Amino acid sequence: MAFDARLPQDDSAPLSTLIIGTGFAGLGMAIRLKQEGRTDFLVLERADSVGGTWRDNSYPGCACDVQSHLYSFSFEPNPEWSRMFAPQPEIKAYLERCADKYGIAPHLRFGTDVVQARYDEDAQLWQVQTRDGRVFKARALVAGLGGLSTPAYPQLKGLEKFKGKAFHSAEWDHGYELQGKRIAVIGTGASAIQFVPQLQKRAGQVDLYQRTPPWIMPKPDRRISALERALFKRFPLAQQAIREAIYWSLEGRVLGFVLNPKVMKLPEQIARWHIRRQIKDPALRAKVTPDFAFGCKRVLISDDYYPALAQANVDVITDGIREVKAKSIVTSDGVERPVDCLIYGTGFKAQDPLPRGAIFGRGGVDLLDAWKDGPEAYLGTSIHGFPNLFMLVGPNTGLGHSSMVYMIESQIAYVLDALKTMTAKGLSEVEVKAEVQARFNAGMQKQLGGAIWASGCKSWYVNAQGKNTTLWPGFTFRFRRATRHFKLADYDAQKVATTA
Ligand code: NAP
């Protein structure tokens, strides 16, 4: 079956490409398809606006921890960033502007919650079902689901008995009045360190339940002046030069993360100095000082977190939670603390981002069965047994050191080249060869074995079997090189059947 290059009138007609998600990944893919004149695609989005993680995470203090000049599409620089590390509303607005500017609206289907995608081998089409019973069909399925989109909740004794207010940082209830309340926060990760300083200003009391203190570096943030913004507008090359400089300075971190973890001793000293400088109380200093190798878990940046912890209305509690009661939390030392509102800063299901029964490939195999030893793909994109499925932000494409948008754009270029190759060669199906995927992953795991993330801490980067299924091991330009061209020789391919 050949496809019309235009967007069909009827959503149930088979399309060339279906994209799921409108974060940087899904939206970026849609824009690039459109730029290439490939308009026979739809973008399915469960929410009612674009933005992915930058729409969902709206907690007070939410901002990017990668400089915005780099954390943005290469083809769409934004001279208007107000700070070096833009706050969430600006990033969300940027993505909305991108969707608008590149004419993605006719392709967007909001309120379209995908519950299942199944590969129909006979038709060589992906059949995608939504919660409200609609079915979409496409030759290629591009999953831009995000690596960190399913909130993770702790398993705590008695949690179901809790009668106060409770929500996850990714589902912040802005209607809840925090003023004067007794707030319990569980978790001290990237999200919590951003919202705790904001809570501290409003709440009566903040009890911060910390299981593992993170390493935190000073945040080199500042306002971008009106003059600078005018300069970036007038001379885009100036902003481009800053983007390049940021890229290469962040890339330098790979030396410590992967090539020689001993190098991490230097930034560790800076992080220790940061604690000493911002916290005077020796007991609090001791509580927030990590005891694992710097870099093993995600290194965070903040200038307002430690000062907030040092305030009189914040307690850092390191005794484990024994039990949650109707209106309180009891810790292992027997102390019971009253709670009005419980906020989960407990992160996301990075290791099992998809539920069972969501994606079925060749032979009706559930993706989770193909991934019984943990998520695995070729170049984080293609999975043997799942023809014509392309994942964005798939296994081992995450970063601990630089901008995910760079990785996403690399993957988008690869998928675009795959789709172009399929069209040019009249292919109905491409499926990565099992041995290509196995060789790629063996090489990657070997590199990851010597990296700082394998130095013994417990993090969401590594699964229960000790396999790192989330991070790309090394320089991002190597990923870009590897994804520059779709290599058909790495795939089994079938030609479109021609009828006489
Ligand atoms: P996270 O980094 O995974 O942190 C979760 C926190 O919850 C950790 O402190 C963890 O402790 C704690 N926790 C989890 N389960 C617990 C339990 N059962 N009992 C007690 N504590 C528990 O999650 P996050 O802060 O939401 O961030 C997730 C990721 O999102 C980040 O790593 C980052 O990639 C991304 N993010 C990015 C930005 C940005 O600015 N770009 C901002 C926020 C988030 P342990 O350490 O002991 O497991």
pLDDT tens track for 104-120: 999 999 999 999 999 99
Helix-, strand-, coil-residue percentages of the chain, each rounded to 5: 35, 20, 45
398 Cβ contact partners less than 8 Å away, ≥ 6 residues apart:
147, 350, 404, 407, 461, 470, 471, 472
Six-digit token pair at 445?
């795991």
Tell me the CA–centroid distance for residue 152 and ligand 1, in Å.
Answer: 9
- The answer to whether 166 and 191 are in contact (CB under 8 A) is no
Give, rounded to a whole angstrom, the gap between the first and last alpha carbons of the chain. Answer: 13
State the Cα–Cα distance between residues 335 and 340, nearest whole angstrom: 17
Tell me which residue has tokens 């790192």: 468
Q: Which residue CA neighbors atom 46 of ligand 1 most closely?
A: 212
CA-CA distance, 163 to 166, in Å (whole number)?
A: 9
Residues 6+ apart with CB under 8 A from 314: 196, 200, 205, 206, 208, 308
Question: In 10 A of CB 155, how many CB atoms?
Answer: 5
* CA 203 to ligand 1 centroid distance, Å: 22
d(CA 296, CA 34): 40
- Is there a contact between 58 and 174 (Cβ–Cβ < 8 Å)? yes
What pLDDT, on the 0 to 100 scale, is given for residue 1?
Answer: 54
Among 66, 67, 149, 191, residue to substitute to test ligand 1 (most atoms within 8 Å of Cβ)? 191
Least confident of 70-79, 106-115, 273-282, 447-456: 447-456
Alpha carbon of 400 to ligand 1 centroid (Å): 13
**For all residues of the chain together, what is the average pLDDT?**
94
Tokens 């220790």 correspond to 272
User: Domains plus CATH for the chain?
Assistant: 15-50+104-150+349-495 (3.50.50.60), 159-214+252-344 (3.50.50.60)
pLDDT number for residue 5: 58
Using most ligand atoms within 8 A of CB, pick from 346, 401, 461 the residue to mutate for ligand 1. Answer: 346
Helix, strand or coil, per DSSP, at residue 95: helix
In testing the pocket of ligand 1, which one of 53, 58, 85, 211 has its CB within 8 Å of the most ligand atoms? Answer: 211
Q: How far is the CA of 192 from the centre of ligand 1 (A)?
A: 7
Neighbouring-strand partners of residue 183 = 206, 341
pLDDT tens-digit map of 424-447: 999 999 999 999 999 999 999 999
Pairing state of beta strands 300-301 and 216-217? Answer: parallel
Q: Could you tell me the distance, in angstroms and rounded to a whole number, from the CA of residue 76 to the centre of ligand 1?
A: 30
At residue 98, the pLDDT reads 98
The 10 Å CB-count burial string (b at 16+, else e) for 312-346 is: ebbebbbeebbebbeebbbbeeeeeeebbbbbbbb
Render 204-266 in DSSP notation, one character per residue: SEEEEE-SSPPPEE-----BPPHHHHHHHHH-HHHHHHHHHHHHHHHHTTHIIIII-GGGGHH
Contacts 24+ apart (CB under 8 A), 323-331: 323/156, 323/157, 323/158, 324/156, 324/157, 324/158, 324/159, 324/161, 324/162, 325/158, 325/161, 325/162, 326/161, 326/162, 326/163, 326/164, 327/162, 327/163, 327/164, 329/184, 329/207, 329/209, 331/209
Instruction: Supply the pLDDT for residue 261.
Output: 74
Tallying the residues shown for the chain, one arrives at 500
| pLDDT level of residue 400 (50, 70, 90 thresholds) | confident
CB 32 within 8 A of CB 416: yes
Distance 66 CA to ligand 1 centre (A): 16
Q: How far is the CA of 188 from the centre of ligand 1 (A)?
A: 6
Q: Which residue's entry shows tokens 């539920």?
A: 355
Evaluate if residue 297 carries a pLDDT over 50.
yes
- The residues, ordered by sequence, that sit 6+ positions from 125 with a Cβ below 8 Å of its Cβ are 14, 119, 137, 138, 139
Predicted TM-score of the model (pTM) = 0.94
Pick the atom of ligand 1 nearest to 62's CA: 42
Number of C-alpha atoms within 13 angstroms, CB side, residue 257?
A: 21
Angle 14-20-25 from CA coordinates, rounded to 5°:
130
Task: Give residue 257's pLDDT band: very low, low, confident or very high (50, 70, 90).
Answer: confident
Closest atom of ligand 1 to 212 CA is 47
Residue nearest to atom 33 of ligand 1 (CA): 190
Say what percent of the chain tops pLDDT 70: 97
What value does the mean pLDDT take over residues 362-383? 95
| Number of the ligand 1 atom closest to the C-alpha atom of 154 | 18
Ligand 1 proximal residues by C-beta, below 6 Å: 63-65, 148, 154, 169, 186-192, 211-212, 298, 345-348, 460
Q: Which atom of ligand 1 is nearest to the CA of 211?
A: 47
What is the whole-number distance in angstroms between the Cα of residue 296 and the centre of ligand 1?
Answer: 14
User: What is the 300 CA–ligand 1 centroid distance (Å)?
Assistant: 10
Give the residue-averaged pLDDT of 236-257.
93
Separation of 77 CA from ligand 1 center, angstroms? 29
pLDDT digits (tens, 9 = 90+) for 167-223: 999 999 999 999 999 999 999 999 999 999 999 999 999 999 999 999 999 999 999
Identify any residues that bridge with 317 across adjacent strands, giving them in sequence order.
209
